[in-house]
Structure 1
Amino acid sequence: MPINIVLILLLLSVLFFRKRPHISFKCLLSALVLLVASSIPALSDRVMVSIEDNYPAYSPTNKRVDYIVALGGWHQGNEALPVTSQLNSDSLQRLVEVLRIHKLHPNAKIITSGHHNTDPTSHAQKMKQALVLLGIPKQKIITENFPKDTEEEAQLIAPRVFGTNIVLVTNANHMPRAMLYFQDQGVEPVAAPVGHWVKNINSEKNWSYYVPNSNKLQQTTNAWHESLGRLVQWLKRLL
């Protein structure tokens, strides 16, 4: 990730400071350039929008929907909190989209997915609890409790939904990789991307759009993560 590379470059600049000052300076300059470039909204948005804009937001349709599939995110178990407060922001965004689409297609079943390695309750079960709390009948929700990543989710869910009409809900920056995994399993879902980092690339900008911003560093990190994930996916398909 960008911040890790910056830290490595800074460490190298310290190590080479006395014996090779020219290398130390290059490492320091490279760290500064990478940190600034990763934090500038104008650059970060261009990188992220190239990933997020592959699929449009889900629109109402007369086509029957059999399953609404919500890919796994993350939560932090704490029984002192309501279940909705235990979900992270990505999972909450997916939860809201599932509710929106289910309102449009009330006969559809919902599939929640995801393992959890620090909580006895799987993420799929935690999402189900939140959906039931918000009014979805529990008998309409199917949980896949064992997938540890998107590839496993596609492998386990595809046999259940093969030959049906499904809507796939995940974050916009994650959607291209998720769609490809399901397509590799012979399933053609309709994409329902949520949680767009870049809301409107063409909106009017002010001077702050060209000043480093910590939120945009996080955005660049997410884009970097997805790009690496897509590279790994591409390499796996070659083997």
Structure 2
Amino acid sequence: MLFNLKKFIGGIMMPLPALLLLMALALLLLWFTRWQKSGKVILSLSWLFLLLFSLQPVADRLLRPIESTYATYRGHDPVNYIVVLGGGYTFNPDWAPSSNLIGNSLPRVTEGVRQYLAHPGAKMVFTGARGANTLSNAETAARVAESLGVPRRDIVVLDRPVDTEQEAAQVAKLIGRQPFLLVTSANHLPRAMRFFEAQGLRPIPAPANQLAITSPLNIWDRVLPSAMFLSHSERAWYETLGSLWQRLKGDSVKVK
């Protein structure tokens, strides 16, 4: 119940829902009250921020500092485990396996498989509980890895954790203090590293799913608003809120 409430409140605080709610408030003020000036100001500012958050220069400027914390891992130090954190997913047995991994999940799994191929003998660990689907997040990702050639004997499924803090606790029971590769989205990795290190673990950061674009773009990609770049702003805001909450919790994330 608390987890669902946290997700619901966090979802409302994302740029698109929050700005749409402000626009709705502004329309109510304009149509049904005498507070015309307040309604106009709220509507204008909401529209402006929605526009700005949808533009590539703004969105990627917000996201880039978070994603640049850790560079792409290209090392070959021996490790026994490669941990791939769960993300968005659904499960439809009639789809291609990879189609069941939504948004950030597929890049995490493919980067995990790349690291698996570079580290012969390692085990792949997938995390993530079952939501509204018949299959857990971890098992869905494991089946995608298996479809890409990873033997089932080299796959470990941890399907109890519902968030990153619980993922760190479950991995600690499995791996202990030995070094391992931690694969998750580049924007999620700084917060994930803090959770795992708070458990006394020794994660090696291996970012995936970098989104903030630094290479040249066509002018229309830079000046036209886009749902894709709005999602980049959303990721930056989501991780900022998550980091603030993590710091507010303080000692509660540390090993007892």
TM-score of the aligned structures, taking structure 1 as reference length: 0.93
Q: Which runs of 5+ in 1 are unaligned?
A: none
Moved over 4 A (4+): none
**Paired residue type of 1:162:** G
Q: Identify the match of residue 26 of structure 2 among 4, 9, 13.
A: 13
In structure 2, what is the equivalent of residue 27 of structure 1? 42
Structure 1 residues 226 and 9: CA distance shift in structure 2, 3 A: same
Paired with 1:54 and 1:29, the residues of 2 have a C-alpha distance of 35
Whole-angstrom distance in 1 between the partners of 2:88 and 2:55:
28
Structure 2 match to 1:183: 197
Amino acid at match of 2:139: Q
Classify 1:83/1:211 alpha carbon distance in 2 versus 1 (closer, same or farther; 3 Å): closer
Is this contact kept in 2: 1:128–1:141, CA < 8 A?
yes
Q: Paired residue for 2:219, among 181, 187, 207? A: 207
How far apart are 1:183 and its partner, in Å? 0.5
Give the CA deviation at 1:204: 3.5
- Number of matched residues? 236
Aligned residue type for 2:125: I
Q: 1:5 to 1:85 in 2, by over 3 A?
A: closer
| Greater shift in the superposed pair: 186-195 or 80-89 | 80-89
1:138 to 152, 165, 181: 152
Measure, in 2, the Cα distance between the counterparts of 1:212 and 1:156.
41
SS of the residue corresponding to residue 104 of structure 2 reads helix
Aligned partners of 1:115 and 1:174: how far apart in 2?
A: 18
- Cα 1:187/1:218, change in 2 over 3 Å: same
- Aligned mate of 1:220, from 220, 233, 251: 233
Residue type at the aligned position of 1:149:
D
Task: Note if contact 1:73-1:88 (Cα within 8 Å) is conserved in structure 2.
Answer: yes
The DSSP-based 3-state class of the residue aligned with 1:89 is coil
User: Which position in structure 1 is the counterpart of 2:9?
Assistant: none
Q: Distance in 2 between matches of 1:231 and 1:30?
A: 25
Could you tell me whether the CA contact under 8 Å between 1:70 and 1:169 is conserved in 2? yes
Instruction: Specify whether residues 214 and 81 from structure 1 end up closer, same or farther in structure 2 by C-alpha distance, changes over 3 A only.
Output: closer
CA contact (8 A) 1:9 1:30 kept: no
1:67 to 81, 85, 97: 81
In the other structure, the counterpart of 1:120 is 134
3-state SS, counterpart of residue 125 of structure 2: strand
1:206 positional shift: 4.8
CA contact (8 A) 2:178 2:202 kept: no
User: How far, CA to CA, are the matches of 2:226 and 2:137 in structure 1?
Assistant: 32
Alignment gaps of 5+ in structure 2: 1-13
**TM-score calculated relative to the size of structure 2:** 0.87
2-structure distance, mates of 1:57, 1:199: 15
Deviation at 1:205, TM superposition (A): 4.8
Instruction: Please name the residue that 2:209 is paired with.
Output: 195
Aligned pairs for 1:81-100 (under 5 A) are: 81-100=95-114
Indicate the larger mover: 80-89 or 177-186.
80-89
Q: Which residue of 2 aligns with 1:151?
A: 165
Letter of the 1:64 partner, please give it: P
The AA in structure 2 aligned to 1:234 is: R
